[in-house]
């Protein structure tokens, strides 16, 4: 029996290179060895109140881009979270035994309280219970996510174990973070500080769907500095970030060439960024072309979403039926 894997991404727009190298490539590799459920976390995204017009477009982007990156709907179960109402039902049951204190202590909740004090809703507080429901609904044991999600997984284990204790059943297994790669990659952004993230704005991200022109333009504006002033100087963050990006998309020779120029103080950032842009375009092009094709094929997308929802519900219904009976709901 293959082990079960669950992972989700909140639909908040298009996927960027950070999402690709940090998450989606991992999904693609895992699908052949595990029983994988990859879903689009549209219920989670409601905490930030997307408009009805935006919501569907965001979900569509992620679905198209998952497929374009190589997640195979015959191999894995790809579904949209809101198509599986059993998740919301399990969320309700888990909430009955999730305590205010532990939810308030979650770092992601505390961050939100700080960053958006005028929208501290109950959905944000119970975000970890919904995430636990996503994972427990399929009794998953492995969850491919980044370090920032470690605490949510710990809470998932707490909620699952608590349920088991409460109902004297060895029902939910424990799920742990998992990375296929030995080392988690962190893809830097273009603004000279920190990782590539949508919260840094469009100019900080290279999207999988970006056209060659868009990539050239964004790269030409990527933050650099006045240039090295002594030989073999340590690179400041903005420059190191661009070298890290080059390590991801360019050949080892190209990287060594520009590293040499930097060390000899002979680097011209214009040429460096142009090369990086062209290598990104080479990397992106096949994915972008598939995105363009798939975006036009609504019939296919509908088929994939329905097939995924059916497969996910089959597994979810079984869990909910067991859970209802453990809780003590009985038909008359």
Tell me which residues touch ligand TRP (CB under 6 A). 6-8, 10, 41, 44, 131, 134-135, 143, 145, 149, 152
Q: Name the residue nearer to ligand TRP (CB basis): 75 or 151.
A: 151
User: In the complex with ligand TRP, which residue's Cβ is closer, 152 or 273?
Assistant: 152
Question: In 3-state terms, what secondary structure has residue 77?
Answer: strand
Residue nearest to ligand ADP (CB): 22
The CB-of-34 to ligand TRP minimum distance in angstroms stands at 14
- Report which residue's Cβ sits closest to ligand TRP: 8
Task: Quote the tokens at residue 72.
Answer: 């195979």
Contact 15, 62 (CB under 8 A): yes
Residues contacting residue 215 through CB under 8 Å, at least 6 positions apart:
206, 277, 280, 281, 284
Closer by beta carbon to ligand TRP, 8 or else 308: 8
CA dihedral 267, 268, 271, 277 (to 10 degrees): 80
Per-residue CA distances from 145 to 34, 104, 194 (Å) = 15, 22, 18
How far is residue 197 CA from its own chain's centroid? 11
Output the smallest distance, CB 205 to ligand ADP, in A: 7
Binding site for ligand ADP (CB under 6 A): 9-10, 12, 18-19, 21-23, 145-146, 185-187, 195-199
Q: Which does 131 bind (CB under 5 to 8 A by kind): ligand TRP, ligand ADP, none?
A: ligand TRP
Residue 276 near residue 250, CB atoms below 8 Å: yes
The nearer residue to ligand ADP, 199 or 298, going by C-beta atoms, is 199
Six-digit token string for 258: 């520009």
Lookup result for tokens 């424990």: 174
Q: Output 186 or 318, the one with its CB closest to ligand ADP.
A: 186
CA proximity to 233, closest of 213, 210, 259, 252: 259
Is-catalytic flag, 195? Answer: yes
Q: Minimum CB separation from ligand TRP for residue 8, in Å?
A: 4
Token pair of 79, please? 């579904």
Q: Which of 142, 198, 218, 273 is catalytic?
A: 198
Q: Which does 187 bind (CB under 5 to 8 A by kind): ligand ADP, ligand TRP, none?
A: ligand ADP
- Picked from ligand TRP, ligand ADP, none, the partner binding residue 290 (CB below 5 to 8 A depending on kind) is none
Pick what 196 binds: ligand TRP, ligand ADP, none; C-beta below 5 to 8 Å, kind-dependent. ligand ADP
Residue 143's binding partner among ligand TRP, ligand ADP, none (Cβ under 5 to 8 angstroms by kind) is: ligand TRP
Rounded to a whole number of angstroms, the CA Rg of the chain reads 22
Cα gap 149→130, rounded to integer Å: 13
Query: Of all helices (H) and strands (E), which one includes residue 9?
Result: strand 4-9
Task: Taking the CA atoms of 80, 140, 314 and 170 in sequence, report the sign of the dihedral they define.
Answer: negative
Q: Which does 8 bind (CB under 5 to 8 A by kind): ligand TRP, ligand ADP, none?
A: ligand TRP
Identified catalytic residue from 112, 142, 218, 273: 112
Taking the least distance from each CB to ligand TRP, the nearer of 250 and 315 is 315
Residue 295 structure tokens: 């975006």
Q: Which of 29, 139, 186, 195 is catalytic?
A: 195
Q: Please, what is the minimum distance in Å from the beta carbon of residue 146 to ligand TRP? A: 7
Q: Give least dist CB 26 to ligand ADP, A.
A: 8
Longest distance between any two alpha carbons in the chain, whole Å? 82
Enclosing H/E stretch for 151 = helix 150-166
| Shortest spacing between CB 208 and ligand TRP, in angstroms | 17
Q: Which residues are catalytic?
A: 112, 195, 198
């Amino acid at each position: 029996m293959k082990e079960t894997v669950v992972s989700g991404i909140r639909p908040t727009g298009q996927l960027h290179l950070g999402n690709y190298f940090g998450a989606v490539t991992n999904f693609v590799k895992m699908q052949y060895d595990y029983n994988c459920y990859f879903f689009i976390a549209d219920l989670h995204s409601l905490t930030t109140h997307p408009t009805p017009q935006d919501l569907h477009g965001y979900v569509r982007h992620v679905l198209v881009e998952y497929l374009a990156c190589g997640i195979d709907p015959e191999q894995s179960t790809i579904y949209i979270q809101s198509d599986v109402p059993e998740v919301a039902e399990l969320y309700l049951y888990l909430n009955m035994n999730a305590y205010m204190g532990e939810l308030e202590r979650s770092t992601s909740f505390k961050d939100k309280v700080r960053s958006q004090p005028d929208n501290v809703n109950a959905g944000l507080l119970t975000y970890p219970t919904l995430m636990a429901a996503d994972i427990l609904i399929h009794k998953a044991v492995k969850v491919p996510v980044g370090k920032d999600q470690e605490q949510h997984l710990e809470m998932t284990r707490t909620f699952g174990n608590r349920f088991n204790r409460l109902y004297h059943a060895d029902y939910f297994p424990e799920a742990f973070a998992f990375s296929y790669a030995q080392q988690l990659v962190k893809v830097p952004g273009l603004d000279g500080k920190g990782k590539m993230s949508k919260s840094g704005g469009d100019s900080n991200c290279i999207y999988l769907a970006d056209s060659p022109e868009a990539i050239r333009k964004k790269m030409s504006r990527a933050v650099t500095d006045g240039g090295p002033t002594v030989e073999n100087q340590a690179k400041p963050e903005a420059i190191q970030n661009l070298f890290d990006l080059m390590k991801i998309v360019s050949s080892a020779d190209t990287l060594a060439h520009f590293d040499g120029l930097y060390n000899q103080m002979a680097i011209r950032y214009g040429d460096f960024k142009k090369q990086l842009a062209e290598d990104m375009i080479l990397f992106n092009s096949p994915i972008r072309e598939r995105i363009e094709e798939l975006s036009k094929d609504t019939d296919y997308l509908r088929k994939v979403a329905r097939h995924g929802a059916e497969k996910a519900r089959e597994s979810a219904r079984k869990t909910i039926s067991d859970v209802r009976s453990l809780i003590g709901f009985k038909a008359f």
